[in-house]
């Protein structure tokens, strides 16, 4: 029984990186000034942030239905089954759409759509776990059950550098954005499953970083009961903020010196809502020791 693992670029995988890991990925479509782009095909992070900085109109879109079905057909010519891991159902309708498509006669029992409510770095981890399980000989149904059973064992904490895009997306009022900008407030948000939520507020970069590190430490000790992080995967993520991400990585490594801590860019879908300059930390329980 051969099983293909398919996700999309909301996971943070580029097409090239996914290929290296033995995972398949669908490029996420974006409409910029009504022109269609595909992430990691004709839209990379540098181009995205350049267009965002110039205030071009950017709209996210779920993977196009035709693209999804074409990829499923292509993979089923080589594999017996597919595990498809789309963006969290709380952030996009792509998951529900894929579940509906998988119920069609030609895909039923062959395509298993995972609704484990993850995005970006934690979604990438799910795809890597799925690939490891497939390599062990697990069926697509078994992999889907595992990922959904463990869907809540993950969190992302994000310090936002600018309130501009939260205001634009209607997540805060213009008045709140004006006051926040005046006071140099940096919101700290969290993604725990279905949606982006408020977590804390910081007045300085230093204070914000400490909030992120404290959140990870508390989760490790209390939520996961793993104070040394031996069964946890941690990472640093950012939106166009590599230098500060590297500094934060060193601080996290000082707390967990025996752990691998990778740096990944947050997905462009997240960047649409929070803008450039953000810093994030992620923590997930996983049987993988490295990613």
Q: 291 in a domain, yes or no? A: no
Q: What is the mean pLDDT of residues 81-101?
A: 82
Same domain, 136 and 238: no
Q: 204 in a domain, yes or no? A: yes
Q: What is the mean pLDDT of residues 80-108?
A: 84
Same domain, 10 and 143: yes
| Domain harbouring 241, CATH code | 3.30.1180.10
- Number of Cβ within 10 Å of residue 227's Cβ equals 12
Whether residue 273 contacts residue 171, with contact meaning beta carbons closer than 8 Å, is answered with yes
Per-residue pLDDT tens for 204-230?
889 999 999 999 999 999 999 999 888
Strand-pair category, 261-265 with 232-238:
parallel
The domain boundary, picked from 149, 173, 190, lies at 149
- Number of Cβ within 10 Å of residue 209's Cβ equals 21
The whole model's pTM is what?
0.88
Per-residue pLDDT for 242 more than 70?
yes
Same domain, 96 and 175: no
Per-residue pLDDT for 237 more than 70?
yes
Taking all residues of the chain, what is their mean pLDDT, rounded to a whole number? 87
Give 208 or 193, the one with higher predicted confidence: 208
Same domain, 209 and 268: yes
Per-residue pLDDT tens for 29-74?
999 998 999 988 899 999 999 999 898 988 888 888 899 999 999 9
| Domain harbouring 123, CATH code | 3.40.50.10170
Give 82's pLDDT tier (boundaries 50, 70, 90).
Answer: very high
Per-residue pLDDT for 174 more than 80?
no
User: How confident is the model at residue 193, as a pLDDT?
Assistant: 66
Q: 128 in a domain, yes or no? A: yes
Residue position matching structure tokens 């700290």: 188
The domain boundary, picked from 149, 182, 212, lies at 149
User: How confident is the model at residue 157, as a pLDDT?
Assistant: 93
Same domain, 143 and 243: no
Q: 281 in a domain, yes or no? A: yes
User: How confident is the model at residue 185, as a pLDDT?
Assistant: 67
Residue 291's Cβ-side half-sphere holds a number of Cα atoms within 13 Å equal to 31
Same domain, 78 and 133: yes
Query: Cα separation of 29 and 39, whole Å?
Result: 6
Same domain, 215 and 139: no
Give 241's pLDDT tier (boundaries 50, 70, 90).
Answer: very high
- Number of Cβ within 10 Å of residue 104's Cβ equals 11
Give 183's pLDDT tier (boundaries 50, 70, 90).
Answer: very low
- Domain tally for the chain? 2
Same domain, 255 and 201: yes
Same domain, 131 and 81: yes
Same domain, 52 and 114: yes
Q: 290 in a domain, yes or no? A: no
Same domain, 125 and 55: yes
Q: 42 in a domain, yes or no? A: yes
User: How confident is the model at residue 80, as a pLDDT?
Assistant: 96
Give 274's pLDDT tier (boundaries 50, 70, 90).
Answer: confident
Same domain, 57 and 131: yes
Query: Cα separation of 114 and 143, whole Å?
Result: 9
The boundaries of the domain holding residue 219 are: 154-285
Whether residue 183 contacts residue 207, with contact meaning beta carbons closer than 8 Å, is answered with no
What is the distance, to the nearest Å, from the Cα of residue 105 to the centroid of all Cα atoms in its chain? 31
Q: What is the mean pLDDT of residues 225-250?
A: 93
User: Per DSSP, what are the bridge partners of residue 279?
Assistant: 159, 238
Residue 190 dihedral angles phi and psi, to the nearest 5° = -135, 150
Per-residue pLDDT tens for 121-147?
899 999 999 999 999 999 999 999 999
């Amino acid at each position: 029984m051969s099983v293909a693992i398919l996700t999309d670029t909301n996971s943070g995988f580029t097409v090239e990186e996914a290929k290296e890991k033995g995972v398949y990925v669908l490029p996420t479509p974006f409409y910029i000034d009504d022109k269609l782009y595909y992430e990691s095909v004709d839209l990379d992070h540098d181009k995205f942030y350049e267009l965002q900085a110039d205030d071009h109109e950017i709209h996210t879109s779920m993977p196009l239905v035709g693209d999804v079905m074409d990829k499923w057909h292509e993979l089923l010519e080589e594999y017996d089954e597919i595990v498809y891991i789309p963006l969290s159902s709380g952030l996009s309708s792509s998951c529900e759409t894929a579940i509906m498509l998988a119920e069609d006669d030609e895909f039923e029992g062959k395509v298993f759509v995972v609704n484990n409510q993850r995005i970006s770095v934690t979604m990438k981890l799910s795809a890597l776990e799925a690939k490891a399980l497939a390599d062990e000989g697990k069926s697509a149904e078994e992999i889907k059950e595992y990922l959904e059973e463990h869907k809540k064992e993950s969190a992302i904490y994000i310090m936002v550098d600018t309130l501009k895009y939260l205001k634009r997306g209607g997540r805060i009022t213009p008045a709140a954005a004006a006051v926040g900008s005046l006071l140099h407030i940096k919101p700290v948000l969290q993604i725990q499953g279905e949606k982006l939520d408020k977590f804390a507020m910081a007045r300085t970069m230093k204070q914000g970083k400490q909030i992120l590190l404290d959140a990870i430490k508390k989760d490790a000790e209390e939520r996961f009961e793993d104070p040394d992080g031996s069964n946890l995967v941690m990472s640093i993520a950012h939106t166009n903020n590599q230098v500060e991400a590297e500094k934060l990585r060193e601080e996290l490594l000082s707390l967990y010196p025996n752990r691998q801590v990778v740096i990944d860019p947050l997905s462009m879908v997240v960047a649409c809502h929070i803008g450039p300059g953000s810093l994030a930390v992620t923590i997930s329980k996983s049987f993988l020791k490295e990613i």
